[in-house]
Structure 1
Amino acid sequence: MTIRSAIVATLAACLAWATPAAAGPTLDGVRQRGILACGVNVGVAGFSLPDSQGTWRGMDADLCRAVAAAVLGDPGKVRFVPLTAVQRFTALQAGEIDVLIRQTTLTMVRDTNLGMRMVGVNLYDGHGFMVRRDANIRSLRDMDGMTICLSPGTTNELVTADAFRAENITFRPVLQERMQDNASALQAGRCDAIGTDATQLAALRSQFTRPQDFVILDQRFSKEPYGPVVRRDDQEWFDVIRWVLFGLIEAEELGVTSQNAEQLRASSPNPAIRRLLGAVPDLGQAVKLQPSWLFDAIRAVGNYGELYERTIGPNTPIGLPRGINDLWTRGGLIYAWPLR
């Protein structure tokens, strides 16, 4: 390479970092309006629920903030759009939201038939049932003939029907869009059980007047991997959401937290940590974001472990141990693809 061509190459590289690279329509749209439209649940404790000041709290809400921090440099630049299970996919297809982060089970049929892409797993769950403790229910066969509250348009509605059919027993469904309405119906005795994913059952029970009066049966009847969902027509936006999620998991694997990220970015000799935190810029360039994209996300919401423990972990009212949602190095299923 001649001296002249080397200078030209260096100037081109500098110019590339001075202005963000051209991106797909969703990323460009979010940048232009300066806000991320994020679809969340209408209100489930530990996942997405407004507090007394109207601030959305929970794992899903904070994942929205992580994306906003990575894309816009500010976790506060999020417009939360509460959606029922019936509304969620239509809102995404219509462009009313940029990303759906709302306790959505990733399935093949949804991934291939709805014009959407399932991004990656942020929580592993399974379908279960919650009943009154004094009903003395021990297994599914004890639930023959019961009235079960379910939300329409969910995998839980189908799983419940399949489970009862397999046991050759019957149930009476009560379908209500809002899970909070199902919770009220169970407490008031209008249904004998709620059927949904176990983490949601724990979240609902944490807000009951007498949570000790209700029990979640041990048996699980399905695999329910939750994850963000985007429209199929924008691969670059898919990449952004996937790698923000994997970046938070990688941060936990590397011991990078919201508290030590700044110090590690300045002084860590570990090449993987330096890449993660943008001390070297190649990861941000790959997704057309600034070098600090993952550093900003981690500083905003913490690594995956911090996010889990703060929102639904054992020391929260939800009280869920890590279990299968622990890192793969500790016997769980949470695993980030290598970032390089």
Structure 2
Amino acid sequence: MYFLKFLLFFFFILFHFHPINAFVLDEVKERGYLQCGVSEPFIGFSNVDTEGNWSGFDVDVCRAVSSAIFSDPDKVEYITTTNRSRFPVLAGGEVDLLSRVTTWTFSRDVNLGFEFTGINFFDGQGFMVKSSLGVISAKELDGASICIITGTTFQFNIDMFFKKNNINYTPVLVEFNDEAFENFLSGRCDVYSDYITELANKRITLPDSNKHIILPEIISKEPLSPLVRHGDDQWRDVVSWSLKVMIIAEELNINSQNIDDHKESENKEILRLLGLLGPYGTMIELDDLWAYQIIKHVGNYEESFKRNLGSESLLNLKRGFNKLYNKGGLLYAPPFR
């Protein structure tokens, strides 16, 4: 009798303090498709055509996860979110993951009950100038005028950058960001500053976009990452490693076009990635070919970057910090073993 009471008490404590959560991976498999939160149409990251087909850099994360689970990149329902609605939508279980230009910060990670799954884009504050200014680096902006909203983090970052490099600038103070951009276009100031992603999107709206240059320096940290709800490590692993597979594939020179040529490789990491060696599907509760399906259907990181943000896109962004670690960037994934 004492043992029975102890056992009942044990299970009460266990379930009271560790409630049973439905595992997202099982729910997605049973549902038959992934629910992915993305931004409202934002060129390069989440675009939708007239037939309802989605594309973009953030969309490719959703497509990669779908490929890993279903061997099909199109088993996705895309749910648009705004800056205000994105976190309640994720917290409320309306989406399985959020993949939409969201900065990884301490408070969002710790206080909001979310798990960031890995940096997929290193964003940050940068500068745009007209090519007629004749500069190719922000360090050459000594004496330039910058349209800026007073009292903002943007102003603080600019002040710190100019002090660090022992150069000066003339602030042209405005109240709103749109006003700063309009003043830059009218020639009231030499420089406009915003996040690199925003600069690229604003530049392509200009009729003379080729006469505007985004300088290479980034003066703040804005690491963008997909995120999931806290408390389901298995699901976090699926989303996290779907991105990591794309990074590793680029490092190993495997892409959507040549992946089948690597099936006879002597490189064991490649064989593991292709599902030909080891129980790496069982470990993550997916098919053995889950990583192969990601690369085959979505491509490696370089392919996704090129077609959505880089040389094959309207934005034509340079890789910058988003190069692999062994090519001068910050992009890095743990080994697949």
Q: TM-score, normalised by structure 1?
A: 0.77
Residue 213 (structure 1) shift: 5.7
Q: Which range is displaced more, 104-113 or 308-317?
A: 308-317
Residue 132 (structure 1) shift: 6.9
Residue 242 (structure 1) shift: 0.9
Q: Per-residue CA shift, 1:163-202, capped at 9, x if unaligned? A: 3786896844437xxxxx899978997x988754213321
Q: Give 3-state SS (helix, strand or coil) of 1:37's partner.
A: strand
Q: Per-residue CA shift, 1:50-107, capped at 9, x if unaligned? A: 1343321211111110111101221011111122222211211111111111111111
For 1:160 and 1:90, locate their aligned partners in 2 and report how far apart those are by CA, in whole Å. 27
- What is the 5 A alignment of 1:310-321? 310-321=307-318
Residue 316 (structure 1) shift: 2.5
Sequence identity percentage? 37
Structure 1 residues 159 and 29: alpha-carbon distance in aligned structure 2, compared to 1, 3 A threshold? farther
CA contact (8 A) 2:148 2:172 kept: no
Structure 1 residues 55 and 187: alpha-carbon distance in aligned structure 2, compared to 1, 3 A threshold? farther
For 1:28 and 1:159, locate their aligned partners in 2 and report how far apart those are by CA, in whole Å. 42
Look up the match of 1:174. 176
Report the structure number with the largest CA radius of gyration: 2
Is it true that 1:295 corresponds to 2:289 in the alignment?
A: no
Residue 131 (structure 1) shift: 6.5
For 1:231 and 1:158, locate their aligned partners in 2 and report how far apart those are by CA, in whole Å. 31
Look up the match of 1:13. none
Write the letter of the residue equivalent to 2:272: R
Is it true that 1:86 corresponds to 2:88 in the alignment?
A: no
Residue 288 (structure 1) shift: 1.1
Is it true that 1:227 corresponds to 2:229 in the alignment?
A: no
Candidates 318, 333, 338, aligned match of 2:330:
333
Q: Per-residue CA shift, 1:290-338, capped at 9, x if unaligned? A: 1111111111111111111121112432112222211122222111101
Look up the match of 1:178. none
- What is the 5 A alignment of 1:37-186? 37-130=35-128, 146=147, 159-160=153-154, 162-163=156-157, 171-174=173-176
Look up the match of 1:246. 244
Structure 1 residues 283 and 215: alpha-carbon distance in aligned structure 2, compared to 1, 3 A threshold? same
For 2:321 and 2:208, locate their aligned partners in 1 and report how far apart those are by CA, in whole Å. 28
- What is the 5 A alignment of 1:177-196? 196=194
Q: Per-residue CA shift, 1:251-300, capped at 9, x if unaligned? A: 111121111223323x2232111110111342212211111111111111
CA contact (8 A) 2:158 2:219 kept: no
Q: Give 3-state SS (helix, strand or coil) of 2:280's partner.
A: helix
For 1:94 and 1:296, locate their aligned partners in 2 and report how far apart those are by CA, in whole Å. 30
Write the letter of the residue equivalent to 1:104: T
CA contact (8 A) 2:184 2:192 kept: no
Q: Give 3-state SS (helix, strand or coil) of 1:102's partner.
A: coil
For 1:165 and 1:336, locate their aligned partners in 2 and report how far apart those are by CA, in whole Å. 34
Structure 1 residues 186 and 136: alpha-carbon distance in aligned structure 2, compared to 1, 3 A threshold? farther
| Number of residue pairs aligned between Structure 1 and Structure 2 | 303
Q: Give 3-state SS (helix, strand or coil) of 1:85's partner.
A: coil
Look up the match of 2:14. none
For 1:218 and 1:250, locate their aligned partners in 2 and report how far apart those are by CA, in whole Å. 25
Structure 1 residues 196 and 26: alpha-carbon distance in aligned structure 2, compared to 1, 3 A threshold? farther
For 1:292 and 1:300, locate their aligned partners in 2 and report how far apart those are by CA, in whole Å. 12
Structure 1 residues 60 and 182: alpha-carbon distance in aligned structure 2, compared to 1, 3 A threshold? farther
CA contact (8 A) 2:35 2:77 kept: yes
For 2:230 and 2:334, locate their aligned partners in 1 and report how far apart those are by CA, in whole Å. 21
Q: Give 3-state SS (helix, strand or coil) of 1:313's partner.
A: coil
- Unmatched 5+ stretches in structure 1: 1-22, 149-156, 176-180
Q: Give 3-state SS (helix, strand or coil) of 1:339's partner.
A: coil
CA contact (8 A) 2:255 2:303 kept: yes
For 2:288 and 2:172, locate their aligned partners in 1 and report how far apart those are by CA, in whole Å. 57
Look up the match of 2:196. 198
